[in-house]
Structure 1
Amino acid sequence: MKYADVDRIYQTIPLDNLPWNNETPPDALVRLVQEGKVRPCRTADLGCGAGNYAIYLAGLGFEVTGVDSSPTAITIAREHAEKRGVRCRFVVADLLGGLQEVSGTFDFAYDWEFLHHIFPEDRETYIKNVYKILSRGATYFSVCFSDDDPQFGGTGKYRTTRIGTTLYFSSESEIRELVSPYFTIRELKTIDVSGKSGPHRAVYLLAEWR
């Protein structure tokens, strides 16, 4: 998805109609916290959108920085955090750029259903940026659409959504190849994830900086 299109989407489509905007944190993220696989620490929410999950973690004591390329999304996220009385930092930054706007390093970073917006030719740039902002031994968590998923009426790698965005559907082997040069993989599997249009299949990654 082109970054300019993301901001247009947030400007023109109500949050309730955005397929990725859910106020309830996903079960997979909640389990990471409940099982103690991640504990309150400096955290980066990459592609944070309206900030729902950043706000959830901040409410549990995480020191969260939400990053998104859409100024409109970041404005919404800041408003949501203020209304909930939760302290978060939100910054506008191109996650394929230099990330000068993102200061310091993090002990935990995650992208929830964001990676499928990045096409293969840009993914190495992205994963290098994730690696760059993490501290030694940090945890990286990612969930993106699986090519086993029947969503959007096809079995192809590239599929168009009802709001006109094009997504790339990944295999476990592609994710392994992408992250292995930078991270030690702790878990890599395909899971079922609930969504606004029904359940879908997603590739789940939990990895450690090395």
Structure 2
Amino acid sequence: MSDVDFDAVYQGKPLVEGSGIAFDLAPWDIKAPQPAVVDLVRDGQFRGEVLDVGCGLGENALFLAANGYRVTGVDGSAAGLEQAGRRAAERGVDVTFVHADATALTELPEQRFDTVLDSALYHCLDDEQRQLYAAALHRVTAPGARLHLLCFADVDAGLRFPIAVSQDNLRANLGAHWDIEDIRPGSYTTSLTPEVFSRIGEDALANLGFTVDAQRVRQDEQGRIVGPIWQLRATRH
């Protein structure tokens, strides 16, 4: 996803330079934590100090911190982190935000974190970057640390996301450093609605990598489009 300018997206500019296609909200900005993350917290799947890598606008990190976890949010977009910091201040929630390359994480100390959350970062990387990323996460996590990773799935469920990945890809790129315990289908809530898709147009969406079947696409109770993900759980070697 190297052609996506995340700073531009957070500033209301086109997702891809020259495409002319901009969204009122970043497609992943639902102004709340992902429901899948809420479920993980409810089920006691986080422990100790938490790293939210690819935290974006910080909604998952803020939710975790509000539930009593010590959280560090990392992202490569300065514009996204600036907005995340403002949201944290407005809500009186304490999260440490760090501007860093997720494939290196050199700004973070070794063996610090007990749980990692990756909500929609992995699929943004190419395979070489994914392998570096797996190693970087291994370096900054404690022995036995947990990884919860949500990524776009190569599944036709009415909406097919750009840069969707396979379960085999996850195993190949993470397996050197992480014991993968489970990969299951899940759902990712977007800020997009059928009206947004209609305004942008089918051809323009296809150029961005979205495949949409209006008859089968899922929506939540607020009318937001929901797409397929893989939900992975792993433990650090």
Q: Same fold (TM over 0.5)?
A: yes
Residue 151 and residue 119 in structure 1: after superposition, are their counterparts in 2 closer, same or farther (change >3 A)?
farther
Q: Measure how far apart 1:45 and its partner are.
A: 0.7
- 1: distance between equivalents of 2:6 and 2:236? 29
Alignment match, 1:204: 231
- 2: distance between equivalents of 1:111 and 1:148? 19
| Counterpart contact for 1:58–1:86, Cα < 8 Å | yes
| Counterpart contact for 2:155–2:228, Cα < 8 Å | yes
- 2: distance between equivalents of 1:93 and 1:111? 14
Q: Measure how far apart 1:168 and its partner are.
A: 1.8
Residue 185 and residue 4 in structure 1: after superposition, are their counterparts in 2 closer, same or farther (change >3 A)?
closer
Q: Measure how far apart 1:15 and its partner are.
A: 8.3
Q: Does 1:189 align with 2:216?
A: no
Within-5 A mapping of 1:45-124: 45-96=52-103, 98-104=104-110, 105-124=112-131
Alignment match, 1:23: 31
Deviations 1:126-182 (A, max 9, x none): 1111111111010001011111145666xxxxx7xxxxxxx4211112112222221
One-letter amino acid matched to 2:107:
E
Q: Cα RMSD between the aligned structures?
A: 2.2
- 1: distance between equivalents of 2:120 and 2:4? 19
Alignment match, 2:210: none
| Counterpart contact for 2:120–2:151, Cα < 8 Å | yes
Percent identity for Structure 1 against Structure 2: 30
Instruction: Identify which range, 132-141 or 143-152, moves more after superposition.
Output: 143-152
SS of residue matched to 2:29: coil
| Counterpart contact for 2:30–2:189, Cα < 8 Å | no
SS of residue matched to 2:11: helix
| Counterpart contact for 2:7–2:80, Cα < 8 Å | yes
One-letter amino acid matched to 2:122:
L
| Counterpart contact for 1:127–1:179, Cα < 8 Å | yes
| Counterpart contact for 1:191–1:201, Cα < 8 Å | yes
Residue 151 and residue 73 in structure 1: after superposition, are their counterparts in 2 closer, same or farther (change >3 A)?
farther
| Counterpart contact for 1:23–1:53, Cα < 8 Å | no
One-letter amino acid matched to 2:74:
V
Q: Measure how far apart 1:4 and its partner are.
A: 8.0
One-letter amino acid matched to 1:46:
V
SS of residue matched to 1:185: strand
| Counterpart contact for 1:15–1:21, Cα < 8 Å | no
One-letter amino acid matched to 2:179:
T
Within-5 A mapping of 1:167-186: 167-186=162-181
Alignment match, 1:12: 12
Q: Measure how far apart 1:50 and its partner are.
A: 0.9
- 1: distance between equivalents of 2:106 and 2:150? 25
- 1: distance between equivalents of 2:126 and 2:93? 34
Q: Measure how far apart 1:193 and its partner are.
A: 3.0
- 2: distance between equivalents of 1:15 and 1:63? 32
Residue 185 and residue 179 in structure 1: after superposition, are their counterparts in 2 closer, same or farther (change >3 A)?
same
